[in-house]
Structure formats: structure tokens, C-alpha cells
Structure 1
Amino acid sequence: MSTLHLDGFLPYRLSITSNRVSNVIATAYQSLFGLKIPEWRLVAVLAEGDGMTQQALGAMTRMDKVTVSRAAIGLVERGLVKREPNPSDQRSHLLRLTDSGAALYEQVAPKALELERRIFSEFSAGEIRQLRSMLERLEVAAAGFEAEAT
């Protein structure tokens, strides 16, 4: 009989590491900018593109629709995001950054990059490239399992 040792189980270690890194980032964004992680993810995705539906934002950020909806509501209430009619689908709205939202992104993005630099300061450029490559491969492998489950 095989024995599972949780501390050596890679999916568990990946989850623990992800949670720890997310907590560091969440604390920084909350204290500096009053943003929760889901809110920051929406701001970042909207800053990189044009108006998007909540459904598209959920797909891009891998967040469930309730989390996306709550984050969007909070950002709209703070005047960082605006809702506009979706000309291609009257049942949905497009979300876009307001000028205030874009200005906030311009403040947060350098802090995010600095935090990333600090977290990975003990890694060489090659190790970071290798980690990115492995994470991409893990995502593809996990997507394959998701496809099998549906």
C-alpha cells in the first residue's frame, strides 16, 4: 500500500507556496492601496486590454463568477471601474477602468513588479525562466484534466 506524505506531495506544496505568496501580495495591496487580490486582478486585466465582460474576466483570471462579481461591484463603487452597455450582447455589460482606475494601476504596477523582484531575488534569471516554463506546462497538464472532467 502506498503512503501519501502530504509535505512531499507536489500539488499540496504548490498550493501552500501559492497561498503564502498570495498572502504576502494581498497584505501589501490591502495596506498600500485598499485592494483585495480579486480586485487587483481585475484592475490589471482591464489595464492590459479594452472593455471586458465579467464572464471574460472570470475566464482570464480563473476566478469564479461570484468572486468576479463582488470584485467588480467593489471597484465600481470606488469609482475605479465603470460599466457600459455591451453592444454585441445586451444581456451583459463591459467593464472598463475609469481615469482613477488607470491612475491606480500606474501606482500599483511598479509596486507589484518590485514585490515580484524581491520574492525572486534569490533565483537566477535562468531559474526564473525554468520556473515560468514549468508553470506553463503544469497549467497545460491541469487544463487537460479539466477537459476530461467535462
Structure 2
Amino acid sequence: MSDDTQQGESQRLKSFRNFMTFKLHMLGGHSERFSERYYRDLFGLSLTECRIIGITGSLDLVTFKNVCAMAHLEKSYASRIMNRLVESDLIKKQENPQDQRSVLVSLTEKGRALHSELHAASAALNVSMMSVLSPEQKETFVTCLTLLHDHLNEMEADGDGAEAVWRKHKEKPAARSRSGRSEEVAIDLQTARQLHDMLGKIIRER
């Protein structure tokens, strides 16, 4: 092996491809692009428009602010989309008697009928996308997504910004496996107590 080859291999940078965040972003991008084409072909609506209809319909009567928050949309952008849906007689606005600065939105009869069609189409899309998974894999996948979503919400609520995440990573060195690879080990309190009791029993028997 030449010196140039050895130097090239030693300088090869590590890949991000095996990180959960990388795979999740890639999967999310694929899902967004496919879903955008899917809903435009079927209903002539963008994915964002469908999301707003879905959120509004599921909550019956909701503030515009809450729709923006749940759809992760900037107010100015969401306002333009909402106005288009109002003009299309899919959504109606009304004053909020409890807060004059707030606007309540709900689906019209036409919007409710479309919501039912969108829900059926979304169900079909989900079945198609997850058809490569076994029933057990589907259940595990959805459970993991829910856990990750809840955990990220907790991180945001706790104010875990970039510096906090990086500091925790540096302060908690990863465990080493027999192969020499770094492995992070996390156990809950119940498991820790069970291990403690088992070790205590072994020590007493000796």
C-alpha cells in the first residue's frame, strides 16, 4: 500500500449515515415529497393545505394560533394558506368571544366532506408505505416514533439547547463493548433495582 493510499485512508472522515437523526431526516424528506405529489394528484391540494384541513377537522373548533403551532408553520405563511382555504369554502373563520385578538377556525360542510376523503387517502398511503414491515415491526416503529417525539418535547421543555446536549455528551463517556466499540447503556430505575437485588443475592450465596 502506497503512502498516499495510507494517508487518504487515515484522513477519511466519519459518515453521518448511521445516525438516527440522519436517517430520520432522509425518511422525512422522502415522505414529504411523495405525499406532496400524492395529495396534489388526488385532490389538487398541497401537503400543507391537507395538514391544515386535517388539524382543523380533528379539533372541530380551534384557534388559528393553535393550528399554526400544531402544523409547525409561520403565522404569515399559514395565514396565506388559510385564506385560500376560506376562499375555497373549505374553512370558515369566526371571532373568538374569549379573546378578540384571536380567530377561531372550523371546517365548512364542504371541508368536512373533504376531510373524510383525505383521511381515507391518508390511511391508504400509510398502509402502502408500511407494507414492507411485519405487524410486529409496524407496532415497534410507531412506538419508537412516539417515544422519540415525547422525548424531544421534554428536551425542548427542559431547555436542552445545543450547548446542553453537547455538554451532557462530553460529561458522560460511552461504555466500551468487548469489540472495543463505544456503546451507551441506559436502564430504568426498576431494572437497576432488579440488578442490585440479583447481585446482592449472588454475593450472599458466596
Residue 125 of structure 1 corresponds to 135
Deviates more, 1:41-50 or 1:62-71: 62-71
CA contact (8 A) 1:38 1:67 kept: no
Residue 80 of structure 1 corresponds to 90
Residue 66 of structure 2 corresponds to 56
Greater relative contact order: 1 or 2 (C-alpha under 8 angstroms, separation 6 or more)?
Answer: 1
Q: Does 1:46 align with 2:56?
A: yes
Task: Give the TM-score taking structure 2 as reference length.
Answer: 0.66
Equivalent in 19, 38, 49 of residue 29 of structure 2: 19
Equivalent in 41, 44, 53 of residue 34 of structure 1: 44
Q: For the residues of structure 2 that align with 1:5 and 1:97, how far apart are their CA atoms?
A: 47
Which secondary structure state, in structure 1, belongs to the residue aligned with residue 139 of structure 2? helix
Q: For the residues of structure 2 that align with 1:71 and 1:35, how far apart are their CA atoms?
A: 11
Q: For the residues of structure 2 that align with 1:64 and 1:17, how far apart are their CA atoms?
A: 23
Q: For the residues of structure 2 that align with 1:69 and 1:28, how far apart are their CA atoms?
A: 24
Equivalent in 116, 135, 142 of residue 106 of structure 1: 116
Task: Give the TM-score taking structure 1 as reference length.
Answer: 0.89
Q: Provide closer, same or farther for how the CA distance between residues 99 and 24 of structure 1 changes in structure 2, counting only shifts above 3 A.
A: same
Mark the runs of 5 or more structure 1 residues left unpaired by the alignment: none
Q: Provide closer, same or farther for how the CA distance between residues 4 and 57 of structure 1 changes in structure 2, counting only shifts above 3 A.
A: farther
Residue 96 of structure 1 corresponds to 106
- Structure 1 segments of 4 or more deviating over 3 A? none
Of all paired residues, the percent bearing the same amino acid is: 27
Mark the runs of 5 or more structure 2 residues left unpaired by the alignment: 1-12, 162-206
Q: For the residues of structure 2 that align with 1:104 and 1:11, how far apart are their CA atoms?
A: 34
Q: For the residues of structure 1 that align with 2:75 and 2:141, how far apart are their CA atoms?
A: 29
Counting matched residue pairs gives 148
Q: Provide closer, same or farther for how the CA distance between residues 63 and 129 of structure 1 changes in structure 2, counting only shifts above 3 A.
A: farther
Report deviation, 1:4.
Answer: 4.0
Greater Rg, structure 1 or structure 2? Answer: 2
